[in-house]
Amino acid sequence: MTDLQVFRDETRQWLEQNCPPSMRSPINSDGSQCWGGRNAVFSSDEQKLWMERMAAKGWTAPTWPIEYGGGGLDKAQAKVLREEMGNLNARSPLDSFGVWMIGPALLKFGSEALKQQHLPPIVRGEIRWCQGYSEPNAGSDLAGLQTKAADMGDHFIVNGQKVWTSYGDKADWMFCLVRTDPEAKKQSGISLVLFDMTTPGVTPKPIKLISGSSPFCETFLDDVRVETNQVVGEINQGWTIAKYLLTHEREMIGGFGLTDAGSQSLAEYAVDALGITQGRLANTLLRSDVIRWEIDAAAFAMTAERVTDEVKSGQGVGATSAMLKYYGTELNKRRYEIMMKLHGNDAMEWASGASNEGWLPRTWLRTKGNSIEGGTSEIQLNIIAKNILGLG
Ligand SMILES: Cc1cc2nc3c(=O)[nH]c(=O)nc-3n(C[C@H](O)[C@H](O)[C@H](O)COP(=O)(O)OP(=O)(O)OC[C@H]3O[C@@H](n4cnc5c(N)ncnc54)[C@H](O)[C@@H]3O)c2cc1C
């Protein structure tokens, strides 16, 4: 047996023994995701246990170095872990902006002290992060951001406003883009800073959405003190780090096209939803929608895998993350359209125990934001045209 086969056998065995039964089903309600954090709300004791067991192995951040609490797996082993979790229908033990976004940026650009301070609590699910990028007049044109950080020697004083801060009211820390040199050309005077959301002057105010929930906030920053040692990388060099972090965010959001509804395929979902025990889906139009989606998803999975291999062989993910983000989000939106169609009028059930408090229509509405968050589809198409196709 090769080393990888041994690893696969051991992983399968470990997951079989340690993944609690209730964590082996697709996510189907708002509370089924595990976000961790100081004020973590677990849907069950088993969810907490699952996060803690995976965190103890470093498998909430499988490829991060062991010295920072990660699993120390190489890409091939991480893929095996994903596959074995998929075979068991195992849920993600921890959904985390720390793991998806600021962690990779710290690993590449952070000082040793920042890595030691922030990475292990992220792996353990102890600290929940939010992203302070967008502002009322700086979304697609992110480099136009106006939040200012005045240099006071050993600390900065930050003033400004962020918007669309996902889970700003639930997060413990923010990674935040600020302007540290107001005189410099747009991109040149930006820094990435980190601060605790309980710092005086930080006020997140939830915004209510079409789905009825308030997953994001306006965040007001009034004379917020940020220690100089909480700047990631060099002062005024934050734009490079911000862009690197965005490639990880886009890769993650693009991945929703494959994994957002848990590991159940759309065809399996259709069979369950319609209670089909034999034969096939009678509505031919709907059947072809499901099949077409499955084929496109399979092709997308192969493309995503190719990109992962390219990254492994040293070609950075860079602009390809725009491609994954664009296509993955379209795929995810289409999947939920089909899921809604499968349920007919019942899909609009909004507030009942049987519908898990309208989980499906609320999630369907939420997917509309996929092609906006992390940079809109139009911006991704601009990047693809310029940096991949070499047009203009
Ligand atoms: C669900 C969700 C979660 C989010 N979470 C966060 C978060 O946690 N933290 C955070 O900082 N931000 C977050 N955002 C904000 C998100 O990053 C911005 O909404 C996004 O970058 C677009 O910016 P904007 O809303 O200001 O739109 P604008 O930039 O004003 O764009 C408006 C329209 O114009 C188009 N447009 C703009 N410029 C161009 C161009 N050059 N070429 C072609 N078309 C163009 C856009 O595609 C869009 O259709 C979130 C957004 C959503 C929807």
Same domain assignment for residues 145 and 228: yes
Query: In this structure, which residue's CA is closest to atom 1 in ligand 1?
Result: 369
Assigned domain for 342 exists: yes
CB count in 10 Å sphere of residue 99: 24
CATH code of the domain covering residue 95:
1.10.540
**Overall domain count for the chain:** 3
Report which of 127, 120, 126 is spatially closest to residue 58, judged by C-alpha positions. 120
Query: In this structure, which residue's CA is closest to atom 40 in ligand 1?
Result: 379
- Over residues 319-333, the pLDDT tens digits come to 888 999 999 999 999
Tally the C-alpha atoms within 13 A of residue 172's C-alpha that lie toward its C-beta. Answer: 16
Same domain assignment for residues 185 and 280: no
Same domain assignment for residues 11 and 55: yes
Same domain assignment for residues 221 and 244: no
Same domain assignment for residues 186 and 269: no
Same domain assignment for residues 307 and 377: yes
Question: What HEC string does 46-98 produce?
Answer: HHHHHHHHHHHCCCCCCCCCHHHCCCCCCHHHHHHHHHHHHHCCCCCCCCCHH
Assigned domain for 214 exists: yes
Same domain assignment for residues 218 and 276: no
**Amino acid of residue 168:** G
Q: Is 376 in the pocket of ligand 1 (CB under 6 A)?
A: yes
The residue from 176, 204, 236 where one domain ends is: 236
Distance 375 CA to ligand 1 centre (A): 5
Pocket test for ligand 1, best of 370, 372, 391 (most atoms within 8 A of CB): 372
CB count in 10 Å sphere of residue 305: 11
Same domain assignment for residues 221 and 335: no
Per-residue pLDDT of the chain (392 residues; tens, 9 = 90+): 799 999 999 999 999 999 999 999 877 776 788 999 999 999 999 999 999 999 999 999 999 999 999 999 998 899 899 989 988 989 999 999 999 999 999 999 999 999 999 999 999 999 999 999 999 999 999 999 999 999 999 999 999 999 999 999 999 999 999 999 999 988 999 999 999 999 999 999 999 877 777 788 999 999 999 999 999 999 999 999 999 999 888 888 877 767 544 456 898 889 888 888 887 888 899 999 999 999 999 999 888 888 777 766 655 567 888 999 999 999 999 999 999 999 999 898 888 877 888 889 988 998 999 999 999 999 999 999 998 899 97
Residue 179's beta-bridge partner residues?
148, 190
Same domain assignment for residues 183 and 257: no
Q: Are 286 and 342 in contact (CB under 8 A)?
A: yes
- Over residues 222-245, the pLDDT tens digits come to 999 999 999 999 999 999 999 999
**Residue 31 has what pLDDT?**
74
Q: Are 228 and 194 in contact (CB under 8 A)?
A: no
Query: In this structure, which residue's CA is closest to atom 43 in ligand 1?
Result: 378
Assigned domain for 74 exists: yes
Tell me if the pTM is above 0.85: yes
**Residue 261 has what pLDDT?**
41
**Residue 253 has what pLDDT?**
83
Report which of 370, 363, 369 is spatially closest to residue 30, judged by C-alpha positions. 363
Using the structure block, give the residue that is written with the tokens 């890769």: 251
Pocket test for ligand 1, best of 35, 130, 133, 134 (most atoms within 8 A of CB): 134
Distance 164 CA to ligand 1 centre (A): 9
Same domain assignment for residues 245 and 358: yes
Domain encompassing residue 227: 129-236
CATH code of the domain covering residue 379:
1.20.140.10
Length in residues, the chain: 392
Report which of 157, 137, 143 is spatially closest to residue 187, judged by C-alpha positions. 143
Using the structure block, give the residue that is written with the tokens 């590991």: 263
